[in-house]
Structure 1
Amino acid sequence: MYRDTPPPSVQLSPEVTDALDAGLPVVALESTLLAHGLPRPDNRAAADEVEAAVRAGGAVPATIAVLDGVPHVGLTPAQLDRVCADPELAKLGVRDLPVAAAFGLSGATTVSSTALLAAGAGITVFATGGLGGVHRQSAETFDESADLVALARTSLVVVCAGVKSILDVPATLERLESLSVTVLGYRTRTFPGFYVADSGSPLDWSVDDAAQAAAVFAARRALVPGAVVVANPLPAEEQLDPALHDRVIAGALAAAEAEGVRGKAVTPFVLDHLHRASEGATLAVNVRLVLRNAELAGRIAAALAPQIAA
């Protein structure tokens, strides 16, 4: 099967290399969730659970991180240990990758950098928790995640549970539309709200199964570069209580503002505040939604693999 050969500086694990060469389905996974989104030591167990969920969906997992300046697509257990244990691990978006490479730094990859490295390796499906997007009060701060532009430029399926709850959801959807990123609800016509099933923002399109999502991406790839976002809501019975959600989000944003937290430091700060304020409820929901996204991504990758091989 044809695929772009990664530059020598990018290391693919033997399992990922063999899977891609054989035309088997592979799902990329970000490492920022592990290094900056989940508390230690829970993050290490979650890493194994997420990879197992991809396998349950019928695909090979490829967790991505930068170690000593080298991007790795697919991590060994020892490398996962390192990513999950190091409190000094940097958070690397696309703009940060050249710096890490030049200076031999290690870091966890965000949605934008994971998408770039995955697509460069020939991986067409990526599972994450929630996307970055347009921040609240962006009219004054101009704070907008690099994830959005990356999705406009990178051809892959991204399975998520919406965007982070701290963001401006309607504004993010407007930007995705302006950037011509295809957004599909998975069995829903309402964009999910990450910790909650319904953000209140409607969607134009939905799919009923993994095969339909794969067909939309195959059609998109034949027409124009760019991502297909598959928004996968939690079942109502598994979501965070909406009243608790609104209360802890408001408190977390106020705390970030009071302490002057800005830029890429906002998300880890707010996630930690949410975990403490909800007495662990947000952490449990976060893990559930990531596992569901990983399993669905595995099924989409399995449905897409024969179309790519053809």
Structure 2
Amino acid sequence: MRVAEEVSAALATGSAVVALESTLLAHGLPPGRNRKVATAIEDAVRAAGAVPATIAVLDGQMCVGLGSAELDLVCDPDAEFLKLSARDLGPAIALGRDGATTIASTSMIAHAAGIGVFGTGGLGGVHLPAPGEVSSWDVSADLDVLAATPIVVVCSGVKSVLDIAATIEVLETRSVPVVGYRTDFFPAFYRRESRFRVPWRVDTPASAAAVIAAHRDRGPVRSGVLVANPVPVEHELDAGLHDRLLAEGMAKVAHSDVRGGDVTPVLLEHFHTASGGASLDTNEALVLANVALAAEIAVALTSE
């Protein structure tokens, strides 16, 4: 593992650090826009008083904190970065590959480096059943890693193209506290609320930090904490547009041979193209809000 000097210095002095994933940059946003967002994300963390630590695997080495040239490389589509979940880290390291880290792999690397807070877009979850099936065995590795890794993940819930009810149930079963930030309902990524309530609510970064500190001190220490932060109200995707896109996307999947983990990427691509970029605007806004909140919580935790 290679930890950037700025990140290492912050960790050594007990200063606030926020982990950031790289899959959003390499696979989640269009070329050009992804590099601008990479800078904006790190700037948002710094503005809130913390040090950003974007994580990726470069030439088989886990890198915690990237320089400008390395961010350029991650955002370059010609670099063909692999998408690395937790299971992929060993092979990528052994074979000297370049890869962008998902929530699962970012969480593991951040924890290994001593970073306790991670800001991102939307958590992976339980996938909806394929057409003709009653249930799905396709469950994101994000959930099991969060259950076994004492890290705070600040996100806007899970995407509405996933099975939100089943995802919440898995988090409960895995003893992962779910805390709504200024909301009583679990966010649905593009939309501020799903119909499912959160078990706990906080309204300040200090309150969130107190919950996290108490969980770490007295709770099942191995599990992380999920802080669910709704997309800013002014950037929420229009309800009618959202529902139309979701229905169209599900119909597209039903009439294709797409199954398993390929379903969600197809649905999200439909959202991006059929919304004329509106869903990308929402995605960018919620990520910036989440990393800023993560930084505020990280700063508050330094005083706990």
If the length of structure 1 is used for normalisation, what is the TM-score?
0.93
Structure 2 CA distance, aligned partners of 1:81 and 1:271? Answer: 24
Structure 1 residues 53 and 210 mapped into 2: Cα distance closer, same or farther (>3 Å)? same
Question: Partner residue of 1:186?
Answer: 181
Aligned partner (choices 264, 271, 286) of residue 283 of structure 2: 286
Deviation at 1:169, TM superposition (A): 0.6
Cα RMSD for the two superposed structures = 1.4
**AA partner of residue 99 (structure 2):** G
Partner of 1:126, secondary structure, is strand
Percent identity between the two aligned chains:
54
Structure 1 CA distance, aligned partners of 2:136 and 2:181? Answer: 32
Q: Which runs of 5+ in 1 are unaligned?
A: 1-9
Contact 2:108–2:149 (Cα < 8 Å) also in 1: yes
Deviation at 1:235, TM superposition (A): 3.3
Contact 1:23–1:305 (Cα < 8 Å) also in 2: yes
Deviations 1:217-264 (A, max 9, x none): 111111322111110012333200011111112222333454433444
Structure 2 CA distance, aligned partners of 1:277 and 1:55? Answer: 34
**AA partner of residue 212 (structure 2):** F
Would you say 1:220 and 2:215 are equivalent positions? yes
Question: Partner residue of 1:275?
Answer: 272
Structure 1 residues 55 and 267 mapped into 2: Cα distance closer, same or farther (>3 Å)? farther
**AA partner of residue 135 (structure 1):** H
If the length of structure 2 is used for normalisation, what is the TM-score?
0.94
Contact 1:36–1:268 (Cα < 8 Å) also in 2: no
Aligned partner (choices 48, 57, 62) of residue 53 of structure 2: 62
Would you say 1:117 and 2:112 are equivalent positions? no
Structure 1 CA distance, aligned partners of 2:97 and 2:260? Answer: 21
**AA partner of residue 103 (structure 2):** V
Deviations 1:160-182 (A, max 9, x none): 00112210111100110000100
Question: Partner residue of 1:168?
Answer: 163
Partner of 2:302, secondary structure, is helix
Deviations 1:189-244 (A, max 9, x none): 10111001111111121001001111111111113221111100123332000111
Question: Partner residue of 2:239?
Answer: 242
Structure 2 CA distance, aligned partners of 1:202 and 1:14? Answer: 42
Structure 2 CA distance, aligned partners of 1:278 and 1:204? Answer: 33
Contact 1:69–1:102 (Cα < 8 Å) also in 2: yes
Question: Partner residue of 1:106?
Answer: 98
Structure 2 CA distance, aligned partners of 1:38 and 1:255? Answer: 22
Aligned partner (choices 40, 43, 67) of residue 76 of structure 1: 67
Structure 1 CA distance, aligned partners of 2:168 and 2:50? Answer: 29
Question: Partner residue of 1:7?
Answer: none
| Superposition map of 1:1-310 within 5 A | 10-87=1-78, 88-137=80-129, 139-223=134-218, 224=220, 225-307=222-304
Structure 1 residues 101 and 247 mapped into 2: Cα distance closer, same or farther (>3 Å)? same
Contact 2:162–2:264 (Cα < 8 Å) also in 1: no
Structure 2 CA distance, aligned partners of 1:61 and 1:197? Answer: 26
**Which shows bigger deviation, 254-263 or 139-148?**
254-263
Structure 2 CA distance, aligned partners of 1:109 and 1:256? Answer: 27
Structure 2 CA distance, aligned partners of 1:134 and 1:180? Answer: 16
Q: Which runs of 5+ in 2 are unaligned?
A: none
Structure 1 residues 56 and 174 mapped into 2: Cα distance closer, same or farther (>3 Å)? same
**AA partner of residue 125 (structure 1):** V
Partner of 2:27, secondary structure, is helix
**AA partner of residue 216 (structure 1):** V
Partner of 1:96, secondary structure, is helix
Contact 2:205–2:296 (Cα < 8 Å) also in 1: yes
Structure 2 CA distance, aligned partners of 1:86 and 1:68? Answer: 17
Work out the number of aligned pairs and report it: 298
Partner of 1:112, secondary structure, is helix
Deviation at 1:58, TM superposition (A): 1.1
Structure 2 CA distance, aligned partners of 1:89 and 1:254? Answer: 31
